[in-house]
Structure 1
Amino acid sequence: MTTSPSVDVVRRFNRSYTQRVGVLEESFLGPDMPLGTARLLYEIGVAPGTAHALRTRLELDSGYLSRLLRRLQDDGLVSVAPDPDDRRRRRIDLTPAGRERWDELERRSAERARRLVAPLSDRQQARLVAALAEADLLVRAATIEIATVPPGSELARRAVAEYFAEVGARIDGTGTFDVDAALAADAHRLVAPHGAFVVATSAGEPVACGGVQTLEDGSGEIKRMWVDGSWRGAGLGARLLRHLEDVARDLGHAVVHLDTNAALTEAIAMYERSGYRRVERYNDNPHATHFFAKDLTAG
């Protein structure tokens, strides 16, 4: 079977790395706990929450997660109780014994990492840190899912709130936009058959969003485009923009517009790289300083 160089590199790295960090050992990092159970315990210690949130974050089958949780409960390491915010869901927390085990796993993991990099020079360690950070970002980017959601959904609300917080802070230093009013407007404009709203998620968390609405002249307009700052550099902005252009085409638009502010220099550069041309002001948005359009039928 012929594979691409990128696939070969990923597979070779996986074989090498899993061997060296102890994934193949019956007891991961020593405390009589296999990798799956140890990883779940670690994630609960990092961010306790509901079973639903853990399943989404770790992308685990519900049956498998239940078995892992049962073992951790039997060992007295986690507590499971109804979530006070939603009694239909289960809240998972570490017990005092679970916190002690978590601390032990953290210490052993750090020590193994230190031993792994110890033979390398400072320069080699710096190269490794940079390479692994880049690899982690790109691998996570490959797992991002972009889906159309109702503008009033919880995912949409969280994403739009982040969008306005960043835009407001960068434009006027306050971030005081009326999110509720914007969401109320979106509920009418960014829904079929005249529009759509999409959210990109990683492990169930919103990391980017954007919408398309229909203008009075029949063209489309991209709105609310946002990418979490920690994801910039992974190509997510360009990927989201292409997705929104496809949404606009599906809505029947041959031309798509968008506006932005001069403070958002990265966005302006991306739009220009993506084939958008500057046009005259076409709306009354008081925060917009730059206006663009793109012919979606060209090329």
Structure 2
Amino acid sequence: MEDATAVVRRFNRAYTQRIGALEESFLGLGLPLGTARLLFEIGSGPTTTQKLRARLGLDSGYLSRLLRRLEDDRLIAVKPDPQDRRRRCVGVTEAGRRRWRELEERSEERSEERSEDRARRLVEPLSARPRARLAAALAEADLLVRAATVTFAAVDPAGPVAQAAVGRYFAEIGRRFGFDASGEPEKDAADLARPRGILLVACDDGEPVACGGVRAIADGVGEVKRMWVDDAWRGAGLGSRLLLEIEAAARALGHRSARLDTNGALVEAIALYERCGYRRTARYNDSPWATHFFEKALDPADG
């Protein structure tokens, strides 16, 4: 862990410098990138410091420093919320509105061009082979960072997010095994809803990239269902993370063991289950599609 952390920190220092994230004048506006980004959020509509922290993932101290700079430049005003004095409302001043418009105009005109030019200058000194290595390494790093930071959320199994995710699961099953999966996503919706079960979905840029759930099939026994990871996200450890999240949800529902079924053709899935401690067991259902059955004890100490 320490070695990986050191590598990430070293990369962050070098990369942020080279892509211009540390420049004091983003798009020539006299504001560094972080401050300009905050102004853009505030100028998009009145908000609160609490909402800004959540939306941008900033800690209170750093956000306070950025807000102070914008206040000192008379671009924003921070005032107590008249309906709740514990909250602070944030809005742009007239000067801030003008700067916001300028930021938006310059972003539209120059951001893509500047970004492409900077990327081109970054790779120009490299010959073809190192350039290809860099592209492959950055693609891998991008996938791993996104996989490490994506979060799983419980969703309504009958809702649009769940149906989109489970629909992709069945689309893949249909492609691999040659059957019509229309109508399948709705089948287990009731069983995957609380209190009988739960369905977890991970999204990236609004699109589902993984899903999985658990439903009760006997006293203290939960069945893992609809476990799916998008093809483009495989190999980044997302499947293992998802299975751990499902197991934690199963424990929270009071299950002492987890079962699942799969097909022998899904060798990657079988390898994942075995790595995660699942052991083969006797057939426990009459699914004509399933050929392999697994079970794992859910030790409360692991939750």
Q: Could you tell me the TM-score, scaled by structure 1's length? A: 0.72
Aligned partners of 1:102, 1:170: CA distance in 2, in Å? 43
Task: Give runs of aligned pairs for residues 172-191 of structure 1, distance below 5 A.
Answer: 172=178, 174=180, 176-179=181-184, 181-182=186-187, 185-187=188-190, 189-191=191-193
Deviations 1:39-72 (A, max 9, x none): 89xxxxxxxxxxxxxx99x9438x99986x9669
Residue 189 of structure 2: SS of its match in structure 1? helix
Task: Give runs of aligned pairs for residues 1-299 of structure 1, distance below 5 A.
Answer: 4-28=2-26, 35=33, 59-60=55-56, 74-75=101-102, 102=108, 104-172=110-178, 174=180, 176-179=181-184, 181-182=186-187, 185-187=188-190, 189-216=191-218, 218-297=220-299
Matched residue type, 1:132: L
Aligned partners of 2:146, 2:206: CA distance in 1, in Å? 12
Aligned partners of 1:241, 1:101: CA distance in 2, in Å? 41
Residue 215 of structure 1: SS of its match in structure 2? strand
Aligned partners of 1:142, 1:71: CA distance in 2, in Å? 38
Preserved contact between residue 37 and residue 72 of structure 1 (Cα < 8 Å):
no
Preserved contact between residue 166 and residue 185 of structure 2 (Cα < 8 Å):
no
Q: Answer 1 or 2: higher relative contact order, Cα 8 Å, separation at least 6.
A: 1
Aligned partners of 1:289, 1:266: CA distance in 2, in Å? 15
Aligned partners of 1:181, 1:18: CA distance in 2, in Å? 46
Which of the pair has more CA radius of gyration?
2
Preserved contact between residue 221 and residue 258 of structure 2 (Cα < 8 Å):
yes
Question: What are the ranges of 5 or more consecutive residues in structure 2 without an aligned counterpart?
Answer: 39-50, 58-62, 68-89
Matched residue type, 1:172: G
Question: Structure 1 residue 211: deviation in Å?
Answer: 0.9
**Alpha carbons of structure 1 residues 71 and 286: separation in structure 2 relative to 1, 3 Å:** farther
Question: Structure 1 residue 75: deviation in Å?
Answer: 4.5
Identity over aligned pairs, percent: 55
Matched residue type, 2:229: V
Matched residue type, 2:186: A
Deviations 1:177-199 (A, max 9, x none): 314532xx322x12333321111
Shifted more, 103-112 versus 12-21: the winner is 103-112
Question: What are the ranges of 5 or more consecutive residues in structure 1 without an aligned counterpart?
Answer: 41-54, 78-97
Question: Structure 1 residue 103: deviation in Å?
Answer: 6.3
Aligned partners of 1:280, 1:72: CA distance in 2, in Å? 68
Preserved contact between residue 141 and residue 236 of structure 1 (Cα < 8 Å):
yes
Aligned partners of 1:146, 1:66: CA distance in 2, in Å? 32
Q: Could you tell me the TM-score, scaled by structure 2's length? A: 0.71
Question: Structure 1 residue 226: deviation in Å?
Answer: 0.9
Question: Structure 1 residue 204: deviation in Å?
Answer: 4.3
Aligned partners of 1:66, 1:288: CA distance in 2, in Å? 58
Residue 218 of structure 2: SS of its match in structure 1? coil
Preserved contact between residue 27 and residue 107 of structure 2 (Cα < 8 Å):
no
**Alpha carbons of structure 1 residues 181 and 293: separation in structure 2 relative to 1, 3 Å:** same
